[in-house]
Amino acid sequence: MPQVVSGLEIWQWRQSAISTALAADVPVTEVDWLLRFVANLDRLELRLETFKDWAAIELKIPLEELNHLWQQRLNERLPVQYIAGVTPWRQFEISVNSAVLIPRPETEYLIDLAKKSAVINPELTQGNWVDLGTGSGAIAIGLADAFPQATIHAVDFSLEALNVARNNAQNCGFDKRIKFYQGSWWEPLEFLRNQVSGMVSNPPYIPTSIVQTLQPEVVKHEPHLALDGGNDGLDCIRNLVETSYHYLRPSGVWMVEMMAGQADEVSKILRTNGNYGNIEIHLDLAGIERFAFAIRNSQLISNWAII
């Protein structure tokens, strides 16, 4: 339930939270990030502390609950995005909880790749696009925004994740354009064989032996179903290589996110399969080989290169 408190109370909470963040080696920027969503304060108001003298500020959750959640952030390493219940992604606010991975900024580049591919081949702006392993629905929403004339199909194995994704699609105004399916990868989409313009996926790609060594925020709170990619991290990507060409139409595009160090093997898997061409590896903003791109090779596009 919302609660109205004074600006002074928020200022006092903020000072205490910053102090405890420093002591717990948690980025102090998370305090203001959280207050932006919980108290609707903007960056300038927080930096100048102009809110301190305000008589009333409405919080989305009671101050006592906010303090309890902040203690969980410090002691249990609960991600601040789960405390706020939302995270920014592209120009959207995406609702998140422990049923879904928190969308990372680097994943946004998959949408940029899709848009660049459609510049080269305008036919890709229409038809069916698929987001496999949709989680919060962020990629599906990004695709719906990028391609207003396309129909977006979003699949996830987790019903809890699909509930989050449906809610996000509705909140972002895309619930009429995104269709959701419960199941494993392509299984619910048999009716789309040879009809898909593009497939995008951010699948599990962390090797099983590494999952437990990730940041405690990830290990303790984010769904392992969306992280664990098997012995070498590539089980799901292999599956997507082996099955996707049955659904992609001629010149349909295939795009996945992957882990640092997997690019060579993913490229080899694509080449060995024999049903893909124009294989490209793209870097994220940190210069890491993060994304694999290919097209169904029944009709290769000459001089295809996404810059």
pLDDT single digits (tens) 206-249: 999 999 999 999 999 999 999 999 999 999 999 999 999 999 99
138 versus 285: the higher-pLDDT residue is 138
Residue 50: band (very low, low, confident or very high) from pLDDT cuts 50, 70, 90: very high
Residue 275 has pLDDT above 90, yes or no: yes
Residue 301, pLDDT score = 47
Residue 99 has pLDDT above 70, yes or no: yes
Residue 61 has pLDDT above 50, yes or no: yes
Is 195 exposed, middle or buried (CB count within 10 Å of its CB: 0-12, 13-18, 19+)?
Answer: middle
Q: Is residue 198 one of the residues assigned to a domain?
A: yes
Q: What's the longest Cα–Cα distance across the chain?
A: 67
Same domain, 59 and 136: no
Domain count, the chain: 2
Residue 306, pLDDT score = 59
Q: Nearest CA to 120 among 237, 290, 280?
A: 280
Same domain, 68 and 202: no
Same domain, 176 and 282: yes
Whole-prediction pTM value? 0.91
Cβ neighbors of 194 (< 8 A, separation 6 or more) are: 246, 247, 248, 249
Compute the distance between CA of residue 80 and CA of residue 95 in angstroms, rounded to an integer: 12
Same domain, 190 and 258: yes
Q: Mean pLDDT across the stretch 67-74?
A: 94
Same domain, 225 and 137: yes
Residue 243, pLDDT score = 97
- For 144-195, the pLDDT digits (tens) are 999 999 999 999 999 999 999 999 999 999 999 999 999 999 999 999 999 9
Same domain, 198 and 283: yes
Q: Is residue 168 one of the residues assigned to a domain?
A: yes
Same domain, 127 and 272: yes
What is the domain extent for residue 36? Answer: 3-84
Q: Is residue 247 one of the residues assigned to a domain?
A: yes
298 versus 92: the higher-pLDDT residue is 92
Residue 304, pLDDT score = 52
Residue 82, pLDDT score = 94
Residue 2, pLDDT score = 74
Q: Is residue 32 one of the residues assigned to a domain?
A: yes
Beta bridge partners of residue 281, listed in sequence order? 292
Three-state SS string over the chain comes to CCEEECHHHHHHHHHHHHHHHHHHCCCCHHHHHHHHHHCCCCHHHHHHCHHHHCCCEEECCCHHHHHHHHHHHHHCCCCHHHHHCEEEECCEEEECCCCCCCCCHHHHHHHHHHHHHHHHCHHHHCEEEEEECCCCCHHHHHHHHHCCCEEEEEEECCHHHHHHHHHHHHHCCCCCCEEEEECCCCHHHHHHCCCEEEEEECCCCECHHHHCCCCHHHHHHCCHHHCECCCCCCHHHHHHHHHHCCCEEEEEEEEEECCCCCHHHHHHHHHHHCCEEEEEEEECCCCCEEEEEEEEHHHCCCCCCCC
Q: Is residue 305 one of the residues assigned to a domain?
A: no
Q: Is residue 99 one of the residues assigned to a domain?
A: no
Mean of pLDDT over the chain: 94
Residue 244, pLDDT score = 97
Q: Mean pLDDT across the stretch 120-140?
A: 96
Q: Is residue 284 one of the residues assigned to a domain?
A: yes
Same domain, 265 and 153: yes
Q: What's the CATH number where 266 sits?
A: 3.40.50.150
Residue 285, pLDDT score = 87
Same domain, 169 and 203: yes
Residue 297, pLDDT score = 83
Same domain, 63 and 122: no
Same domain, 59 and 124: no
Residue 100: band (very low, low, confident or very high) from pLDDT cuts 50, 70, 90: very high
- For 167-180, the pLDDT digits (tens) are 999 999 999 999 99
Given a contact cutoff of 8 angstroms between Cβ atoms, the answer to whether 145 and 114 are in contact is: no
Same domain, 135 and 30: no
